[in-house]
A = this chain, B = another copy of it.
């Protein structure tokens, strides 16, 4: 059911394999491009800053270096957040969700997280939405 199609060669060029702990690698449920989603959250304010993508090597680097590293889908290369912008993300903790397809990375963000200069990649980008009624009773 969940077998991935083979990843197109042009998407794996430049990728490094074999460094991530094999037990952890086996727990990852990667998409068709060999990636898992990484939600990045400011550790103290709990603001969701952005969502990036990690392959095994990007996760390995994130877990072992104290700096968040993604796989850039658009540039097809490793991207250590802040190397160009100075807006680094220092790792405070990493969790893998129940089914292995998403990471939650707690960070200390320096400067704006978004390349557009907004504090987060979601700031000022609200969609029109019907707000639901709470169904919680009492309290």
Chain A residues with CB under 8 Å of chain B are 1-2, 5, 8, 24, 31-33, 37, 39, 41, 45-48, 50-51, 62-67, 73-74, 88, 90-99, 101-102, 104, 108, 110, 114-116, 118, 121-122, 125-136
Contact = CB atoms under 8 A, between A and B. Distances in A.
Count of this chain's copies in the oligomeric assembly:
2
Contact of A132 (B67, B118, B132): B67
Contacts of A122: 95-97, 102, 104
Contact of A46 (B46, B90, B97, B99): B46
A67 B74 CA distance: 32
A110 B130 contact: no
A contact patch SS? loop
A127 B90 contact: no
The residue among A32, A48, A67, A114 with the most chain B CB atoms within 10 A of its own CB is: A48
B127 A65 contact: no
